[in-house]
Amino acid sequence: MYLKKYPFMIILSFVLLVSLYVQADAQAQAAKISGESVDFLTKTGQAMAELAEAVKPAIVNISATRTEKIAEAPVDPFFNDPFFRRFFGDRFRPHEAPRERKSFSLGSGVVVSSDGYILTNTHVVKDADKIKVLLSDKREFTGKVIGNDPKTEISVIKIDAKDLPTIPVGDSDKLKVGELVLAVGNPFGLNQTVTMGIVSAVGRANVGIADYEDFIQTDAAINPGNSGGALVNVRGELVGINTAIFSTTGGYQGIGFAIPSNMAKAVMKSLIEKGKVVRGWLGVSIQAITPELAQQFNLKKDYGTLLADVIEGSPAEKAGLMRGDVIIEFDGKEVNEPFQLRNMVAGIPPGETKEMKIIREGETKTLSVTIGELPLETEEVPTAYENALMGVTVQSLTPDIYGKLNLPEKIRGVVVIGIESGSPAETVLMPGDVILEINRKAVASIEAYKAIVQEIKPDRDILLLLFRKGSTIFVTISGK
């Protein structure tokens, strides 16, 4: 009877009761957060804010402009068919007039000296026609490339400025998994963005980003545009240069990589002082020890680095190293993986003598080796060479290439690493070919290659002796 007579009052009373219950529950929940906890979290937040405020001024926005030449596509792809061109030549091939296109890229950089030296990634500034550097105070400068090192993805640029804010460079070797880090950069062009995470792993290699890899892995959010930015520890020290992300979507998925500051610092010093990166060289081909190899070489466990080959005349050969030796220690540091040995040797100035422990036929030996300088590897054939080898890029044979191409030790020559579209050699050569002779003249080095090629006339056919896929073959390139 009461329900029928006063339905509105009953509903209102119910709502009020629910509201009071919710408020009481919220107050009870709030009461569970102690003053000590609030104080701790407040101090933590304040500390992170101070850290971000201290490092942000040294992070810059880098925009690079490039000019790319693009060949016009032929009328019909049939004309590009190598089989068709073998029989009919280029008579029916339409003229491919190259056209130019401007491309732009955005990245980040870290000011490491008050007079304007900036660390960034090579892919941010390489081949750029113009580089603009935007500071945190909105000032804009033109950047000049001091040097690039694609092998580590580190580049150094310089701006004409003084009294700039900097970040002190820390010791990345002291980083521990689980440490808090901040990533600072300009993702998607959003200036001065700060993200927080931990060091997920150290010593990451075989990622496929650079030749010399020893990456710091972090879950601090890194996105496109963060490249070249700073990874800093809780003391505000630079411990890494953000480089890449592991992603299936192109965006952040919790795995980012940074180049350790110690590696970046060494590369920067060499680029500034010498204009190039001088690396130590041992002269060996190396590979990882598997459980099967450990058994074959009488190792107690699968550790160390196996020497697959020793280059004739190299520092390794002079030190007495032999194929089949297993290096377990170098310069007092244990060697577990090939990349560790490679990075250790690369970081030693040429001329220094170091000790190493090896296992040979089950016995442990100690040898001394005087480190050499890593030979210059890549040189491009200048476009002024108006002959059938125009547009062919070659590289010296290095221990790594001997191993990757499975080359016999006696092979001497230069390896083809690129052929430009439209080159007369386009349908004859392929990357990985080793040029042993040109017109019956031996090619034992880059210098020999250049000396021979520059004497060849534009309309002359060229006879090459190649080592290709395990066999030696002669091929000719038409100069007509």
Closest CA to 362 of 296, 416, 305: 296
Q: Which two tokens stand for residue 66?
A: 């490039």
Q: What is the pLDDT of residue 96?
A: 53
The DSSP H or E segment spanning 357 is strand 353-360
Mean pLDDT in the chain?
A: 82
Give the pLDDT mean for 386-414. Answer: 81
Band (pLDDT 50/70/90 cuts) for residue 383 is very low
CATH topology of domain 378-477: Pdz3 Domain (2.30.42)
Give the pLDDT mean for 94-122. Answer: 81
Q: Which of 63-72, 142-151, 166-175, 415-424 comes out lowest in average pLDDT?
A: 63-72
pLDDT per residue as tens digits for the range 345-382? 988 889 999 999 999 888 889 999 999 988 765 444 44
d(CA 381, CA 86) in angstroms, rounded, equals 25
Q: How far does Cα 9 stand from its chain's mean position? A: 73
* Selected residue with higher pLDDT from 237 and 385: 237
Q: What is the pLDDT of residue 99?
A: 66
The amino acid at 119: L
For the ranges 18-22, 186-190, 340-344, the one whose mean pLDDT is highest: 340-344
d(CA 325, CA 307) in angstroms, rounded, equals 6
Residue 10 has pLDDT above 90, yes or no: no
Q: Which of 76-80, 321-325, 475-479 comes out lowest in average pLDDT?
A: 76-80
* Selected residue with higher pLDDT from 480 and 161: 161
Q: What share of the chain is helix, strand, coil (3-state, %, to 5)?
A: 25, 35, 40
Q: What is the pLDDT of residue 13?
A: 62
Q: What is the pLDDT of residue 83?
A: 47
CATH of 280-373, one of 2.40.50.140, 2.30.40.10, 3.40.50.300, 2.30.42.10: 2.30.42.10
Q: Where are the beta strands (DSSP E) in 20-97?
A: 59-71
Q: What is the pLDDT of residue 103?
A: 75
Residue 211 has pLDDT above 60, yes or no: yes
pLDDT per residue as tens digits for the range 255-289? 889 999 999 999 999 999 888 888 898 988 788 88
Domains 57-158 and 280-373 share a fold: no
Residue 199 has pLDDT above 70, yes or no: yes
User: Please, which contacts does 384-388 make with residues 24 or more away whose CB atoms are closer than 8 Å?
Assistant: 385/453, 385/454, 385/456, 386/458, 387/453, 387/456, 387/457, 387/458, 387/460, 387/462, 387/479, 388/424, 388/425, 388/456, 388/460, 388/461, 388/462, 388/477, 388/478, 388/479
For the ranges 76-90, 117-131, 386-400, the one whose mean pLDDT is highest: 117-131
Residue ranges covered by each domain of the chain:
57-158, 280-373, 378-477
Residue 155 has pLDDT above 90, yes or no: yes
pLDDT per residue as tens digits for the range 434-460? 999 999 888 877 778 888 888 888 888
How far from each other are the two terminal CA atoms of the chain, in whole angstroms?
Answer: 110
CB 123 within 8 A of CB 228: no
Give the other-Cβ count within 10 Å of 294's Cβ: 17
What is residue 407's DSSP assignment? -
With 0-12 CB in 10 A as exposed, 13-18 as middle and 19+ as buried, what is 235?
A: exposed
CATH topology of domain 57-158: Thrombin, subunit H (2.40.10)
Q: What is the pLDDT of residue 86?
A: 46
Band (pLDDT 50/70/90 cuts) for residue 111 is very high
Percent of the chain with pLDDT over 90: 29
Residue 345 CB partners (closer than 8 Å, separation 6+): 279, 280, 281, 282, 330, 371
For the ranges 155-159, 243-247, 337-341, 399-403, the one whose mean pLDDT is highest: 155-159
* Selected residue with higher pLDDT from 229 and 4: 229
For the ranges 90-94, 158-162, 395-399, the one whose mean pLDDT is highest: 158-162
Which residue has tokens 């390489």? 126
Residue 309 CB partners (closer than 8 Å, separation 6+): 284, 285, 323, 399, 402, 403, 409
Q: Which two tokens stand for residue 14?
A: 């119910």
CA angle 71, 72, 74 (to 5 degrees): 120
